[in-house]
Structure 1
């Protein structure tokens, strides 16, 4: 496709939740056990009055300031989040104003989680390929911590809050980067495996949804909190990710060996270890970044990409991006620098 990623900036909130703090709450899970199981040493947590929109704005401001991006160049804004400020209007409209972007820009929210960056990147590339935009700002941000019950160690040890801002531009003669092709997948029959049930119009919040229960593993949660069936999500991932990787390599006309790296959604160490083994990939081709930030949902892949950049410049190469999770939803895409 005639587009490329030109810059990425990330942001995390100041408050840190360490494994030592979690171990104090869950005595049966010492800090070293949490690290060994998840690969995560600490995660950043948004403050009570700090929203995903705030984190996304901070990431975008960093991108503008650090990389000298002109706000007037942006003609479309995509905000991917599952933690909007309001039911309506869309957070992207508010973000346009806070970032002081022109009123001639398009702006929309997409509600996707772990596959959200790959989906958002495909939408940005499609807008550019269709001549509807030339410079797209894709912002991903989530604050899953606000959905998590403090007594639910099954998810509290995994998720951290964070945001990323990615600038996608139309190629001009001489540019070598590319975006695409893509492959997607959806299985809504598994929606209940990773869900916040209470709070929407299907199941409005009430005294009943706020009632806490304790599961057989000792995790405390209500229907207003995040629930994840870890075993079911793992099984779904190990089935669908190899399938979508095979479809993408076929569409791209390239073997998996042609990709310098395969950047997977950074769910946790156990998940990535299992996928890496399933895909038959060496360690040096599966970059990771979760130890100091946790699973930041839609922003995990851009966190890895930003870390790969040297002095804000991406090294030449072709990379596969694979997102998977809540929905159930999955996607894979190819990019090159």
Structure 2
């Protein structure tokens, strides 16, 4: 595994934004039948999801979360020197959406902007990237990590394996340098298996398959979709999630000389409830240390981890907690890590349907 330790920084704000449109899974009875939906809900643990309006993009949700940080007085726009945006639903194929966010947030020209095309592992990869960039910047600039996705917008409405599972949200995490004596290190480990890149894929829409027509037809799993829809090989991804992911976590424990007892909570990607229970069993993590948000928000892709933080800890007052985090998904990619966070910097979840009107 690739292991990284980053010193001298801290998380000084966490903000999350969801849209207002709450969809209970029972709304899908009409599409898939009561028996199938109830079986899915029981296994995945999803009871409702939040879905953005057609005009609202991932960057809109991330922008609103970042604005909440500014409005709370946690930072000003001219203090930001690094902006990292993580999403698989950008505004445009070009330019990178981080540049759009730089303009919308009113950041000055002295800022390094970067997009990362990742989904469910994206927060952990994005956090270590933003921290590393911040560490390399001379001076007292701060970093914004924005993660967001509107996953349903590339899904077939007939895809019973995905359409009830994924919710929409965006987050912003403010990072700043901190060389005080009490500062604790950020620690990360990650792995990649590009040989399985087709396990979660949207085949068309970029430049590899430019001429494919969006023809809806039944695929080998009998689900009607087209090549512009995201396709997930469910069993392959499930097997990966309960074998490769717990192995990385155990390898991290071994390398760092820690066990589940060394962490207050395990903020894990909310893939589904059954997978969370498997990780609890295989890594000997007491399930009461794994906060669950998938029941009320679904799988929020790159935004699962900050969503859990805001959902469970935003009203905890001031308490310093040692968090273990892990995200895993498209790539295939998987990562884990640990850090300490003062719960007083975690803001309550914001709800908004606002969106940016493009001058085009």
Q: Is TM more than 0.5 here?
A: yes
Are 1:82 and 1:111, in contact at CA under 8 Å, matched by a contact in 2? yes
Give the C-alpha shift of residue 146 in structure 1: 0.5
- Give 3-state SS (helix, strand or coil) of 1:317's partner: strand
- Give 3-state SS (helix, strand or coil) of 1:50's partner: coil
Matches within 5 A, 1:35-74: 35-74=41-80
Indicate the residue corresponding to 2:162 in structure 1. 155
Are 2:12 and 2:74, in contact at CA under 8 Å, matched by a contact in 1? no
1:9 corresponds to which of 11, 15, 27 = 15
Matches within 5 A, 1:96-175: 96-132=102-138, 134-173=141-180
Unaligned runs of 5+ in 2: 1-6, 342-360
Q: Distance in 1 between matches of 2:226 and 2:31?
A: 18
Are 1:79 and 1:109, in contact at CA under 8 Å, matched by a contact in 2? yes
Provide the TM-score with structure 1 as the length reference.
Answer: 0.93
Deviation string, structure 1 residues 145-201 (Cα, Å, up to 9, x no partner):
111111111100111111111111111425x35342211100011111111011111
Provide the TM-score with structure 2 as the length reference.
Answer: 0.87
Change (3 A) 1:17 1:307: closer
Are 1:118 and 1:332, in contact at CA under 8 Å, matched by a contact in 2? yes
CA RMSD, 1 decimal:
1.9
Are 1:181 and 1:251, in contact at CA under 8 Å, matched by a contact in 2? no
Indicate the residue corresponding to 1:222 in structure 2. 226
Indicate the residue corresponding to 2:207 in structure 1. 201
Q: Distance in 1 between matches of 2:87 and 2:148?
A: 5
Aligned residues: 334
Indicate the residue corresponding to 2:271 in structure 1. 267
Deviation string, structure 1 residues 259-308 (Cα, Å, up to 9, x no partner):
11222111111221222222122121111111121111000001112234
Unaligned runs of 5+ in 1: none
- Give 3-state SS (helix, strand or coil) of 2:95's partner: coil
Q: Distance in 1 between matches of 2:285 and 2:165?
A: 24
Are 2:267 and 2:291, in contact at CA under 8 Å, matched by a contact in 1? yes
Indicate the residue corresponding to 2:293 in structure 1. 289
Q: Distance in 1 between matches of 2:108 and 2:286?
A: 45
Change (3 A) 1:25 1:132: farther
Q: Which moved more, 1:124-133 or 1:300-309?
A: 124-133
- Give 3-state SS (helix, strand or coil) of 2:161's partner: helix
Are 1:308 and 1:315, in contact at CA under 8 Å, matched by a contact in 2? no
Q: Distance in 1 between matches of 2:307 and 2:83?
A: 19
Matches within 5 A, 1:297-316: 297-311=301-315, 315-316=319-320
Q: Distance in 1 between matches of 2:150 and 2:339?
A: 27
- Give 3-state SS (helix, strand or coil) of 1:82's partner: coil
Give the C-alpha shift of residue 144 in structure 1: 0.9
Are 2:250 and 2:283, in contact at CA under 8 Å, matched by a contact in 1? no
Q: Distance in 2 between matches of 1:198 and 1:31?
A: 29
Q: Which moved more, 1:260-269 or 1:311-320?
A: 311-320
Are 1:308 and 1:314, in contact at CA under 8 Å, matched by a contact in 2? no
